[in-house]
Amino acid sequence: MIHLAQKDISHTFGKFIVTAMGVGMLLGIVLIMIGVYRGLIVDATNLLDDVNADIWVVQENTLGPFAESSRIHEDLKNTLKAIEGIDKAEAITFQNIQLYTNSKPIRVEAVGFDPFGDIDPINPLHLIKGRTLNRAHYEVVVSAETGLNLHDHIDIGRDSYTIVGITQKTVSSGGDPLIYMSLKDAQQLQFSYSNATIRNDRDRGAVSNPDLHIVNAIIGTIKTGYNNNIISDNIARWKHLSVYTNNEQKEILTKNVVEKSSKQIGLFTIILVIVSTIIIGLIIYTMTLEKIKEISIMKLIGIPDGVIIKMIVQETVLLGFFAFIFGNIFSHLTYDKFPKRVILEAPDALTLFGVILIASVIASFVGVAKVVHADPTVAIGG
Amino acid sequence: MSTQQSIKIENLVKEFGKGDSLLRVIDGASFTVNKGELIALIAPSGAGKTTLLMMIGCVIDPTSGTIWLGEEKVYEDKWITHNSRKIRREKIGFIFQAHYLIPFLNVIENVTLVPQTNGVSEKQAKADAMKLLEYLDIADKAHSKPSALSGGQNQRVAIARALANNPQIILADEPTAALDSARALSVVQMLKKIATEQNVAIIMVTHDERMVQRCDKIMKIENKKIIFEAVEIPS
């Protein structure tokens, strides 16, 4: 039997391909939106995974530094180290700052940690150039996403820092590139006042005596054989602190922090899929209208509706298929140009392919309805 | 119905509209067309020629009457057949003023579309189509698209398509109107040959007196009635 859809498509191949490319770009955006969502989740948990702590100890009644402001004393790490079951404990700070390099501002999140401590939040797998911190002051490791280079000097606050290492794909839950600095530098940056402020305070009779030994969280690891939850409950009960296991922190991040963004992206993706379906439907309707005379002739010479409907449905599915191919090409060519992480995964693409196939069949109904109602006498101008 | 009769029409009526705007186009037409006959259907514009052809071709519904196609009664005040398209596909060939070929199919695909839909294998349908195209002297264009052919060539392809399903009846609605005199005459001679050699009943709508003279009988629609006349060959 003659493959009518194939014949019709090859008759107007250029037009068909351009149409498929147009719809494909729309599907490419859908794939990128899904990729943005995946990137959001990975970014959100990136730092947590790199730190790889078992527990996060934060200010009482707060959710921790990723969701709320948290301030606790640095020496609590020593208290924690004395608790049975705790293997390692270190203080850590987080602070959003803006760097100015070549007059271009870069928003980053600074992670402060003790370079001589037991826990290094810099994942060696992500360190692509240089080394981790091994001095107490004026060294930073920066994410490659900042655009800064090894051995560059940058001014942060009142001091100049040397870049001693470059990491890759290390961003905060908000997608800002990370820079790592010593805990002392981070505390100085976050809690000390400028000279002018100190002078002003003195003139006003106020005493500027900032406590520089404040941190945002204490992270700890648990010895083998001890239960994370029991230790967490004990610390929270007796030390008046909030304690979260790594999984709880992850849940806070993914549910409380990125949930709204995820829902927003999810809704946007659904709308885009619906819009794509409507557009495919409109294209098929127009393509069917353009062929209405040929369809009428076929009906007139006795070709059954089934044969004509098969042609319309096959054309729609082929349009969806080619659009999906172009969408994949488009998304893979552009995903790394986006400022935030976009992760394209094969299962997402396959799911979208299934959705588009179903959407194409639904979209073909408008063309099929036109075929069913086409009057054979239209062919002869009747 | 006689085995020689290919089309038998009894008291066929076609009305359009309702109430005050009711228009009766065909009023009690009764006639028979025998196998192998080429009939010229002539009437003024708007008299109902195409309507009559389309009723015989099971394309539009008559208001009342009876239609026999070959041995089969297909209409008696309502369609007896449930699949009028199958009857068209298996018993009737259509030729129109324009060729109305499917533009995205080439010549041989246009000709084999109906036979293949009827279940003939692709190989057999193509072999039969090539014979037809050779018969109509257009086999060398078998793989060309209609857009690459002249009007006369396309009309011959349209005739090949009409013959491809070995029809008992061919309904031709002004098949020569778009052609020059020489080509028009060639098409009518071809139809006459087909009617005689393949024992097919052909009703051909035409306004051209020269074409009428090649036919076996003249069927006129006058005052909504069907009148048969003998063909007068000018001396």
SS3 A325: helix
Q: Which has the minimum average pLDDT: A157-166, A257-266, A289-298, B45-54?
A: A257-266
Q: Which of A7, A293, A302 sits opposite B114 (nearest CB)?
A: A302
Q: Which of B60, B100, B116 sits opposite A297 (nearest CB)?
A: B100
Taking one residue from A and the other from B, the number of pairs with CB-CB distance under 8 angstroms is 74
Number of domains in chain A: 2
A129 to each of A93, A151, A163, A167, A174, how far by Cα in Å?
A: 24, 10, 10, 7, 24
Q: Are residues A253 and A267 in the same domain?
A: no
Q: Are residues A274 and A356 in the same domain?
A: yes
- Chain segment A56-113, per-residue pLDDT in tens: 999 988 888 888 888 899 999 999 999 999 999 999 999 999 888 776 788 999 999 9
Q: Which amino acid is at A92?
A: I
At B135 the pLDDT is: 84
Q: In A52-108, which residue ranges form alpha helices assigned H by DSSP?
A: 76-82
Q: Are residues A275 and A358 in the same domain?
A: yes
Confidence of residue B3 (pLDDT cuts 50, 70, 90): low
Average pLDDT, chain A: 88
Across the interface, do B103 and A294 touch by the CB < 8 Å criterion? yes
Average pLDDT, chain B: 89
At B227 the pLDDT is: 83
- Domains along the sequence of chain B with CATH: 34-59+83-230 (3.40.50.300)
At B58 the pLDDT is: 92
Confidence of residue A37 (pLDDT cuts 50, 70, 90): confident
Kindly state whether B85 is in contact with chain A, defined as any CB-CB distance less than 8 angstroms.
yes
Is the pLDDT assigned to residue B178 strictly greater than 60?
A: yes
At B61 the pLDDT is: 92
Rounded distance between C-alpha atoms, residue A360 and residue A317, angstroms: 5
Among candidate residues B114, B49, B177, B50, the one with its CA nearest the CA of residue A382: B50
Confidence of residue A345 (pLDDT cuts 50, 70, 90): very high
Q: Are residues A182 and A81 in the same domain?
A: yes
Q: Are residues A177 and A237 in the same domain?
A: yes
Among candidate residues A127, A181, A184, A189, the one with its CA nearest the CA of residue A159: A189
Residue from A301, A309, A378 whose CB has the most chain B CBs within 10 Å, to mutate: A301
Across the interface, do B94 and A301 touch by the CB < 8 Å criterion? yes
CB atoms within 10 A of CB A98: 10
CA distance B57 to chain A (A): 9
Rounded distance between C-alpha atoms, residue A361 and residue A363, angstroms: 5
Centroid of chain to Cα A160: 32
Q: Are residues A177 and A296 in the same domain?
A: no
Confidence of residue B147 (pLDDT cuts 50, 70, 90): very high
At B233 the pLDDT is: 61
At A264 the pLDDT is: 87
Kindly state whether B208 is in contact with chain A, defined as any CB-CB distance less than 8 angstroms.
no
Q: Are residues A94 and A221 in the same domain?
A: yes
Residue A369, token pair as written in the block: 């309805």
Q: Are residues A82 and A201 in the same domain?
A: yes
Looking at residues B93-112, what average pLDDT do you find?
A: 93
- Chain segment B51-79, per-residue pLDDT in tens: 999 999 999 999 999 999 988 999 998 99
Boundary (domain end) residue, out of A257, A282, A312: A257
Is the pLDDT assigned to residue B110 strictly greater than 90?
A: yes
Domain with A57 in it: 50-257
Kindly state whether B151 is in contact with chain A, defined as any CB-CB distance less than 8 angstroms.
no
Is the pLDDT assigned to residue B201 strictly greater than 70?
A: yes
Kindly state whether A14 is in contact with chain B, defined as any CB-CB distance less than 8 angstroms.
no
Is the pLDDT assigned to residue A241 strictly greater than 70?
A: yes
SS3 B181: helix
At A266 the pLDDT is: 86
- In percent, the amount of chain A with pLDDT more than 70 equals 97
B150 CB-near residues (< 8 Å, 6+ apart): none
Q: Are residues A79 and A222 in the same domain?
A: yes
Kindly state whether A292 is in contact with chain B, defined as any CB-CB distance less than 8 angstroms.
no
* H helix or E strand, kind and range, residue A61: none
Rounded distance between C-alpha atoms, residue B225 and residue B24, angstroms: 11
At A115 the pLDDT is: 93
Q: Residue written as tokens 């030390």?
A: A239
More confident residue, A51 or B233: A51
Confidence of residue A229 (pLDDT cuts 50, 70, 90): confident
Confidence of residue A286 (pLDDT cuts 50, 70, 90): confident
B82 CB-near residues (< 8 Å, 6+ apart): none
Q: Which of A7, A303, A382 sits opposite B117 (nearest CB)?
A: A303
Among candidate residues A89, A78, A81, the one with its CA nearest the CA of residue A51: A89
B54 CB-near residues (< 8 Å, 6+ apart): A377, A380, A382, B60
Q: Are residues A107 and A227 in the same domain?
A: yes
Compare all CA atoms of chain B with the CA of A10 and give the residue at the minimum distance: B104
At A147 the pLDDT is: 87
Residue from B104, B105, B110, B170 whose CB has the most chain A CBs within 10 Å, to mutate: B104
Is the pLDDT assigned to residue B19 strictly greater than 60?
A: yes
* H helix or E strand, kind and range, residue A129: strand A127-130
At A380 the pLDDT is: 66
Kindly state whether B103 is in contact with chain A, defined as any CB-CB distance less than 8 angstroms.
yes
List of chain A residues whose C-beta atoms are within 8 Å of the C-beta of residue B109? 2, 7
Confidence of residue A381 (pLDDT cuts 50, 70, 90): low
Q: Are residues A175 and A135 in the same domain?
A: yes
Question: Beta strands of B17-125 (E only): which ranges?
Answer: 23-34, 38-42, 64-69, 72-76, 92-95
At A208 the pLDDT is: 64
Boundary (domain end) residue, out of A204, A239, A257: A257
Is the pLDDT assigned to residue A172 strictly greater than 70?
A: yes
List of chain A residues whose C-beta atoms are within 8 Å of the C-beta of residue B100? 293, 297, 300, 379-380
At A19 the pLDDT is: 92
Confidence of residue B1 (pLDDT cuts 50, 70, 90): low
Boundary (domain end) residue, out of A234, A257, A280: A257
List of chain B residues whose C-beta atoms are within 8 Å of the C-beta of residue A304? 85-86, 117
Q: Are residues A297 and A246 in the same domain?
A: no
At B106 the pLDDT is: 96
